[in-house]
Structure 1
Amino acid sequence: MNNMLKKTDVILIGAGVMSATLGTLLKELAPEWEIKVFEKLANAGEESSNEWNNAGTGHAALCELNYTPEKSDGTINISKAIKINEQFQISRQFWSYLVSSNLIRNPQDFIRPIPHMSLVQGEKNVEFLKKRFEVLSSNPLFQGMEYSEDPEKLMEWIPLIMEGRTSSEPIAATKIDSGTDVNFGALTRILFDHLKSKNVEINYKHSVEDIKRTSDGLWELKVRNVDNGHVERHAAKFVFIGAGGGSLPLLQKTGIPESKHIGGFPVSGLFMVCKNPEVVEQHHAKVYGKAKVGAPPMSVPHLDTRYIDNKKSLLFGPFAGFSPKFLKNGSNFDLIRSIKLNNVLTMLAAGIKEMKLTKYLIQQVLLSNEKRMEELREFVPTAKSEDWDIVVAGQRVQVIKDTETGGKGTLQFGTEVICSADGSVAALLGASPGASTAVHVMLEVIEKCFQQHLKEWEPKIKEMIPSYGVSLVENPDLFQEIQASTAQTLGLSKKELVYS
């Protein structure tokens, strides 16, 4: 063990899209700061950010029905949809800034235009979708959305889904062309290449095993070289824990009060991927359905056109499952080790509350390939088993915490930032919408942890994100301007559509 303590300004744990985003923001705001990154795996973006481990949807609430719940009086609540859309616009602006500044050369390497659609069957669901369309399409953030119950129009939009459909049930869909497919793995690698060029020290195959506070207020990390077992000690004024499912155990090691009474519930996932190029070419959209009764929000079925390695792909899923691992490359003891005296009651309460979810996950684990094909055929009636393979997606750790509204042991399905009171350490927990809102979430980290610099940094932040601090839904002209300019810069406008 090397007893020499190596000090730096900022340490980022985990080489995923969140650390990549925060590191890039900080290098623009404080280029003189020294930043170190520690990643357990051999490359950037290998866990949750990897293109095969997430849906690749630029989540802007254009098609995800769980962001627009129906209230008891029958009206549609779009407040969450507005919030997520505005957050995605922040990501688009930052990515556009990076392209305009020549920090990213070819945006098509990570983002492409793709229609986002919602599809439902059954009278009640059709009624819901129509109400949702009426309230969203009148909102400036969702202009351009179309709605149809006409089978001929739907055949034009989604021929693969409509072909061979024999059900007499009513069917309806919405479509909006401003949706995107985002390769978060490629984006993560691009950003880390940029950070390396800015003299950020990136240490792959280095596992952070412990983190504790020193007497002079720094955070000291015990870091092990995975290849040779050599242990080093590193310290920083600020530490960001962006280790995906591995964030919770590291947050617990800090011992900060904010880490207490928080647990994690791991959920694994599978996607079906089409290996027949002729079938792949028949579909060009991300089509989201409605989660089945009793199913969690992250299990919403969707049939997605994806661009991975500049090749068009078609994926269907996700199928949920249960594994005690917090990371795809984690340990079967992750869940057990995360249970502490301060969160055991929270975890037990969640276990009692979430019996339906546990039952659902067990059922998903036991699904045969033929049962998965049956679910796929609800979307693609003509699907053939020989055309589809299974891909194991990433692990997601849903946050469990005590809340005022939900009580003890409430399962959270969003993304959460946990910060120490003095802003010296922050951790990102949770899942969807995750990577799509990375820039918004990392700005939240900056606002909470670097308050003393905000006044000095604000002009630069506004240069990178023109709508910073402004509500786009209340400023539709600014939204239109930003939507048009980012579409142009990122190659998303219609006149620039090019597909490989």
Structure 2
Amino acid sequence: MHPFSKFQSVRKVKMSNNHTTADVILIGAGIMSATLGSLLKELAPDLKITIFEQLEKPGEESSNEWNNAGTGHSALCELNYTSEKPDGSIDISKAITINEQFQLSKQFWSYLVNKNLISNPQDFIMPLPHMSLVHGKDNVTYLKKRFEALSNNTLFQGMEFSDDPEKLKEWIPLIMKDRILDQPIAATKVDSGTDVNFGSLTRKLLDHLKSQNVDIKYNHTVDDIERTEDGSWEVKVRNFERGTLEHHTAKFVFIGAGGGALPLLQKTGIPESKHIGGFPVSGQFLVCNNPEIVAQHHAKVYGKAAVGAPPMSVPHLDTRYIENKKTILFGPFAGFSPKFLKTGSNMDLLGSVKPNNAFTMLAAGAKNLSLTKYLVQQVMLSKEQRIEALREFIPDAKSEDWDSVTAGQRVQVIKDTDDGGKGTLQFGTELVSASDGSVAALLGASPGASTAVHVMLDIFERCFPEHLKDWEPKIKEMIPSYGKSLAENSELTQEIQTATAQTLGLNENLQTMV
């Protein structure tokens, strides 16, 4: 049975240069489409897949290495994934979920490397300690409770805690140098963390897909998506190179266009696209231009968001490996732009307001006045004010050692929920799919790219449940923990983490790379 036989009655279309059919159309040449395409080609090699990207190169928006923090999100250092309950205990359920999802990604990447489908994993993933750093008595108490709760779980073995300034000087010398210790300070450290260059990984995956006869069309933007009489989808695409409008038909469409996914999802007209809005948030990072300073720091160090600040505001000082060079980034500093993509239009936000989501959007605006105020304050920050924020991490930071870089555009999901009522702002990643499984779209932001493989497995379960039985053996070959809980299986966890670390080169000491 053909993997997409449930859509067998594809309308007969005359094949030409501007009107073609495919089994699968992927919109956006970022990490999400690259991951879905790579998985599908392993599961069903004969599938005809077409990818449309409006820019001239892959991974130039949210997947680009300069447009995200590069954190392999596994909840090792992100404090917003471990909330404190009213009784004072720590809820680690979200941390476990996100960690397990990242383990899926590492397993799939390891499979691709072992099969020689992609090479040189050091180009896209590097070993790097993940740390959490807090100040003040209450925060230190919280961090210690968090450490105790997490370190008992097999996924977080190896986590260390210290409130000893001398130990912290060993871990984070740049942060502790010249620091006035007028309040308690503590940190946790996990050496098994990573820095991920999702731009490089995206390019590798798409090079692999191109070698598998996947048709990747750059400088092509999708204008419209319409259902055909037989249940397929006709995608109207503008070819910038030729200046022509093309028509492409497919049985399944995935919208993985980052911030641009919401307007395209709305064009499908599926009921699931109703009552959903998007709130765009831009970002700025400070990047260190002084190699002597860069050499003194080797970790991703996450702090705690200020009281009342949104999760997107969590400050972090990150070692990054970009273009085979070690650097340090600090941020993020949030900002506002009505664009849904860095290369988008100032009319994106207004254009996304429809009759079916107008009240949802208005309700969100009324609920999030504090967020609006926060964004306005962030936009108004001068470089020197941003350097002052950096000095909370690096006390003697000098303005001339740091430059500003604009990060990627994120569109937070706004939706009506059963528990939150109308216009609830979501800060995570959201998969929206049609009831018949013929179209799916990925919305939202962090943890995003780190959980790409998990998202695609979710798509398989939602959109192609009748094929899972046939696909399961291959899925388990690619992702050995598929269908299993790593948090409840320490032996399997150790086996998988040892194997992926070996394949991806995460056991090597690369601290001297500059």
What is the DSSP-based 3-state SS (H/G/I as helix, E as strand, rest coil) of the residue aligned with 1:429?
A: strand
Displacement of 1:228 after TM fit?
3.5
Paired residues of 1:316 and 1:376 also in contact (CA < 8 A): yes
What is the DSSP-based 3-state SS (H/G/I as helix, E as strand, rest coil) of the residue aligned with 1:202?
A: strand
What is the distance in 1 between the residues matched to 2:305 and 2:219?
38
Alignment partner of 1:460 out of 454, 463, 474: 474
Consecutive unaligned residues of structure 2, counting only runs of 5 or more, are 1-15
Query: Which residue of structure 1 lines up, in the alignment, with residue 376 of structure 2?
Result: 362
1:482 and 2:475 aligned? no
Alignment partner of 1:239 out of 241, 253, 259: 253
Residue pairs, 1:155-304, within 5 angstroms: 155-304=169-318
Aligned length: 499
Paired residues of 1:212 and 1:253 also in contact (CA < 8 A): yes
List structure 1 segments (4+ residues) > 6 angstroms apart after TM superposition. Answer: 495-498
Displacement of 1:329 after TM fit?
0.3
Paired residues of 1:3 and 1:233 also in contact (CA < 8 A): no
Displacement of 1:442 after TM fit?
0.9
What is the DSSP-based 3-state SS (H/G/I as helix, E as strand, rest coil) of the residue aligned with 1:386?
A: helix
1:27 and 2:27 aligned? no
1:470 and 2:464 aligned? no
Query: Which residue of structure 1 lines up, in the alignment, with residue 448 of structure 2?
Result: 434
Opposite residue 106 of structure 1, the aligned amino acid is: N
What is the distance in 2 between the residues matched to 1:137 and 1:452?
39
What is the distance in 1 between the residues matched to 2:408 and 2:435?
31
Query: Which residue of structure 2 lines up, in the alignment, with residue 77 of structure 1?
Result: 91
Displacement of 1:219 after TM fit?
0.3
In the superposition, the TM-score normalised over structure 2's length comes to 0.96
Deviations 1:175-204 (A, max 9, x none): 010000000000000000000000000000
Query: Which residue of structure 2 lines up, in the alignment, with residue 309 of structure 1?
Result: 323
What is the distance in 1 between the residues matched to 2:410 and 2:46?
35
Alignment partner of 2:420 out of 397, 402, 406: 406
In the superposition, the TM-score normalised over structure 1's length comes to 0.98
What is the distance in 2 between the residues matched to 1:185 and 1:90?
19
Opposite residue 297 of structure 1, the aligned amino acid is: P
Query: Which residue of structure 2 lines up, in the alignment, with residue 499 of structure 1?
Result: 513
Opposite residue 116 of structure 1, the aligned amino acid is: H
Deviations 1:130-166 (A, max 9, x none): 1000111111110000000111100000000000111
Displacement of 1:95 after TM fit?
0.4
What is the distance in 2 between the residues matched to 1:242 and 1:498?
36
Displacement of 1:493 after TM fit?
1.5
Opposite residue 480 of structure 1, the aligned amino acid is: Q
What is the distance in 2 between the residues matched to 1:310 and 1:238?
37
What is the distance in 2 between the residues matched to 1:372 and 1:247?
31
Residue pairs, 1:444-455, within 5 angstroms: 444-455=458-469
Opposite residue 443 of structure 2, the aligned amino acid is: L
Alignment partner of 1:18 out of 21, 32, 39: 32
Paired residues of 1:294 and 1:360 also in contact (CA < 8 A): no
Displacement of 1:494 after TM fit?
4.4
Opposite residue 513 of structure 2, the aligned amino acid is: Y
What is the distance in 2 between the residues matched to 1:495 and 1:384?
30
What is the distance in 1 between the residues matched to 2:145 and 2:314?
20
What is the DSSP-based 3-state SS (H/G/I as helix, E as strand, rest coil) of the residue aligned with 1:87?
A: helix
What is the distance in 1 between the residues matched to 2:377 and 2:102?
34
Query: Which residue of structure 1 lines up, in the alignment, with residue 50 of structure 2?
Result: 36
Q: CA RMSD in A?
A: 1.1
Opposite residue 135 of structure 1, the aligned amino acid is: A
Opposite residue 300 of structure 1, the aligned amino acid is: V
Consecutive unaligned residues of structure 1, counting only runs of 5 or more, are none
What is the distance in 1 between the residues matched to 2:115 and 2:133?
39
Displacement of 1:404 after TM fit?
1.2
Paired residues of 2:232 and 2:250 also in contact (CA < 8 A): yes
Opposite residue 61 of structure 1, the aligned amino acid is: A
What is the distance in 1 between the residues matched to 2:374 and 2:76?
27
Opposite residue 56 of structure 1, the aligned amino acid is: G
What is the DSSP-based 3-state SS (H/G/I as helix, E as strand, rest coil) of the residue aligned with 2:210?
A: helix
What is the distance in 1 between the residues matched to 2:189 and 2:276?
39
